[in-house]
Amino acid sequence: MTFRRIRDLREDSDWSQAFVGASIGLPQRTYAYYESGGRSIPPEIWGRLADLYGTSVDYLMGRTDVRDPYPPAKKRRD
């Protein structure tokens, strides 16, 4: 499975794969494998990408077309 949205967001931002990889703590080659679908993306990397792009993991994965991130969780009062 390829993840077109992470590539499109990177290109729209005029960022290189090396820049995105370094921003989320990965070598460029590892990030390139994720972007092309050559490797599965671990959950913690999905979270880092969502934070980097200011969106939700669901948007990155194509599960929603709403680009806005989810609102922060409300703190519970016990």
Please work out, in degrees rounded to the nearest 5, the angle formed at the alpha carbon of residue 16 by the alpha carbons of 1 and 72: 70
Nearest Cα neighbor of 56 from 9, 1, 12 is 9
pLDDT per position as a tens digit, 8-24: 999 999 999 999 999 99
pLDDT per position as a tens digit, 17-69: 999 999 999 999 999 999 998 999 999 999 999 999 999 999 999 888 888 88
Q: What is the pTM of this model?
A: 0.85
Coil/strand/helix, residue 61? helix
